[in-house]
A and B are shown apart, each in its own frame.
Chain A
Amino acid sequence: MKRFANAVLRVLVVPGELVGWLILPLIVSVLMTVLAAKMGWNAFLRWDTPLPVLGNALTVNSMADLQWYIFAIIAIFGGVYAFRDNQHVSVDVFSSALPRRVRLGLSVFGDLVFLLPFCAIIVWYGWSFTLTAYNAGEGSSYGGLMDRWLIKAIIPVGFALLGLAALVRALSTIHSILLPTSGTQTGDDR
């Protein structure tokens, strides 16, 4: 069970491990915007046939949109990554004094009562939120990026991964509560 859970978690954090590299284009893009403001440029490139996402120009506003797109991707997928590695902000001054089984029980309670329903709701409404943007062909009205549904889709996708991670960890923790000999490593051990 433990091995299975770790294998699933390893797959779920793959996007989180990779998206950090987007920080490099993020830096470049912000520096280009600063330069453009200094030089008084508006568009870096223009063309005639509209392309998906980019529309028909690469402007300062496309850059600004790109920047928060990258930020959104890092924040959401990083959430799954930080969850697997137990790096989310928590206050364990009191709980660390509790017996191990109680701590594991609290962890399962959190995964199933706090995290899983929350993820389910965000996936459900995030999906219709994305569909609405898709059907309306929503895009920037300031010459920025088009096809907003793509970035909105990050929300249901990211929270689906997070919910799955919570479920898998909860099952694995329950398993190790019921069969304490099957291994000391559990999702709750820091």
Chain B
Amino acid sequence: QSFDLQSVFGLNVPSIGPSPVNWADKVRLMTAGEIDIKVHGAGDFVPPFEVFGAVSTGAIPMGFDWIGYWAGTIPVANLIGSMPFGPTPEIALGWMFNGGGLEIIQKAYDPHGVKIIPCHLVVPEAGGWFNKEINTAEDLKGLNMRIAGLGGKALAKLGANTQLVPAGEIYVSLETGRIDAAEFSAPQLDKGFGFQKIVKNYYFPGWHQPSSWDSIIVNMDVWNGFSEDQQRIMVEACKANITENMADQLNAQVSAIEEIEAAGATVKRFPDEVLAAMRTAAAEVMQEEAANDPIFKEAYESLTAYIDRTARWAELQALPR
């Protein structure tokens, strides 16, 4: 059997680009060629923001996405896509597969007839590129920034003017001063856009997205057409995929940061005072969202409890460096 899968990313983008291709290879291998998935890049059949709708109706049987793209339709997707001050990758992994996370998310996807398989775990992004220095929370007031998701809403609370400039226009907008700041992704991807040539400050940490999920989505009728073994293979192939991408990301980030510094950008950290203000604003934003959507609320409470509980382990194990 042969199926088309469309990614929301170009297949040449580092790390997340080849991820669905690698997954499809594993599925082909484990099913001894019974299931052949053809992977297509961004925009081949539908524009990136339409992949969910197309999988839901069955126009395309499968997709690969950043979960946060579906926030307009599924509020909880915003939380899983990027939770400000949220879980580290290892905690996110634990919550997703062993802490009840996946069951909560699937509930939100069920009405749309879409099966979700978390399939790529992304390390923290960078905090973003800033043409101005951020020394106090006051410096965020009136800052024109390109930023996605709940982090954007939190910054808006702090007085920033947040907007979603399309990826292709970020460079020129930054260069011409049309925007003062932009977050896009992790250093490995940011590097390719050449922001380091035109922006002075590259800030960390990626407070708005300490970890995030990309997933395989499958039309529910197509999913139900697979045997139980085949379904199991697709999930296991995703888990293997996650292991692989966790292994390949960290070293690549550090190399990318070195290249970015060599091009003349300064790598900095937000002051703790600024991060504290962001944290307060982000918590307010997430509580507002939770009040509007029951599944968001359930996921938010479950994930927060999981983070708080596992924090003790990290504290007990902390070593002096």
Cβ of A37 under 8 Å from chain B: yes
Contact of A132 among B53, B143, B159, B163 (CB under 8 A): B53
Q: Which residue of A lies closest to B177 (CB)?
A: A37
Cβ of A42 under 8 Å from chain B: yes
Q: Which residue of A lies closest to B77 (CB)?
A: A141
Q: B156-180: which residues lie under 8 A (CB-CB) from chain A?
A: 156, 159-164, 178
B112 proximity list for chain A (CB < 8 A)? 136
Cβ of A41 under 8 Å from chain B: yes
Q: Which residue of A lies closest to B73 (CB)?
A: A136
Beta-carbon contacts of B98-116 to A below 8 Å, as 1s and 0s? Answer: 0000000000000010000
Contact of B161 among A37, A136, A138 (CB under 8 A): A37
A142 touches B56 (CB 8 A): no
Counted as pairs of residues, one from A and one from B, with CB atoms less than 8 Å apart, the total is: 49
CB distance from A143 to the nearest CB of B (A): 7
Beta-carbon contacts of A135-173 to B below 8 Å, as 1s and 0s? Answer: 010111111000010000000000000000000000000
CB distance from A146 to the nearest CB of B (A): 10
Q: Which residue of B lies closest to A143 (CB)?
A: B156
Q: How far is the CA of A114 from the CA of B118 in the complex (A)?
A: 42
Contact of A128 among B57, B160, B162, B164 (CB under 8 A): B57
Q: Which residue of A lies closest to B78 (CB)?
A: A141
A40 touches B72 (CB 8 A): no
Q: Is the interface of B mostly helix, strand, loop or mixed?
A: mixed
Beta-carbon contacts of B56-79 to A below 8 Å, as 1s and 0s? Answer: 110000000000000111100010
Contact of A60 among B71, B72, B159, B161 (CB under 8 A): B161
A142 touches B142 (CB 8 A): no
A148 proximity list for chain B (CB < 8 A)? 72
B57 proximity list for chain A (CB < 8 A)? 128, 132
A42 touches B72 (CB 8 A): no
Quick one: given A60-B161, A141-B78, A148-B72, are A37 and B53 in contact (CB under 8 Å)?
no
CB distance from B58 to the nearest CB of A (A): 11
Residue of A37, A138, A142 with most partner-chain B CB within 10 A: A142
Q: Is the interface of A mostly helix, strand, loop or mixed?
A: helix
Quick one: given A37-B178, A40-B144, are A138 and B163 in contact (CB under 8 Å)?
no
Q: How far is the CA of A39 from the CA of B144 in the complex (A)?
A: 10
B161 touches A42 (CB 8 A): yes
A71 proximity list for chain B (CB < 8 A)? none
B40 proximity list for chain A (CB < 8 A)? none
Quick one: given A128-B57, A142-B152, are A42 and B159 in contact (CB under 8 Å)?
yes
Cβ of A61 under 8 Å from chain B: yes
Q: How far is the CA of A129 from the CA of B52 in the complex (A)?
A: 12
CB distance from A175 to the nearest CB of B (A): 39
Residue of A42, A61, A128 with most partner-chain B CB within 10 A: A42
Cβ of A19 under 8 Å from chain B: no
A37 proximity list for chain B (CB < 8 A)? 144, 161, 178
Q: How far is the CA of A92 from the CA of B121 in the complex (A)?
A: 55
Cβ of A36 under 8 Å from chain B: yes
A140 touches B72 (CB 8 A): yes
A143 touches B161 (CB 8 A): no
CB distance from A32 to the nearest CB of B (A): 13
B74 proximity list for chain A (CB < 8 A)? 136
Beta-carbon contacts of A41-62 to B below 8 Å, as 1s and 0s? Answer: 1100000000000000001110
Contact of B160 among A36, A42, A61, A141 (CB under 8 A): A42
Cβ of A64 under 8 Å from chain B: yes
New A-B contacts (11) at CB < 8 Å, excluding given A39-B142, A142-B162, A143-B156:
A40-B141, A40-B144, A42-B159, A59-B156, A61-B162, A132-B57, A136-B74, A136-B112, A141-B71, A142-B164, A143-B153
